Structure 1
């Protein structure tokens, strides 16, 4: 039970840090750039976490694949991705908030 909760949580946390840092490199070193980084990272994390839950469903039971492809299945995965924001959204916000420390050309 603990492993079933811990592994997805750790994956989401690592993905939130890595994805946000990767997006941060492409954005301008400004406050609007930080806001845009947070928005883009949040949207991508929402989609990726929903996809991750779909992948976990498929690993457990391959027969659910036709159900996941329907509109109802997609809505379910999108809802799971949104609920997972309780785990990854604080990490994204902390990573974005500490971005000025990593700026090369601009200063805060």
Structure 2
């Protein structure tokens, strides 16, 4: 949820709204929204995730995937502020892949 800032042209992120299936959550950060949506405490949980080429062959936990999603989200916003639409799109694609991996892990 972005709000138009009174002192700047750039909108300001106030809340993250995330949905999966019939569940919708609103939190202050992407990390908190993903944890609220998929459960967990943010602590590593046992059980591997099927690696993708991006993970360097390593299994990732829910907490690690949430952290990775946050990094892609932050990088996408940095690219957006810089006017780098290609970089923005690449990071959003990586964010979507990471969220898909989170979904697979929690099913």
Instruction: Give the TM-score range, shorter chain.
Output: 0.3 to 0.5
- Higher strand fraction: Structure 1 or Structure 2? 2
TM-score, reference length from structure 2:
0.34
> TM-score, normalising length from structure 1?
0.34
Greater RCO (CA < 8 Å, at least 6 residues apart): 1
User: Which structure's residues are more often helix, by fraction?
Assistant: 1
* Larger-gyration structure (1/2): 1
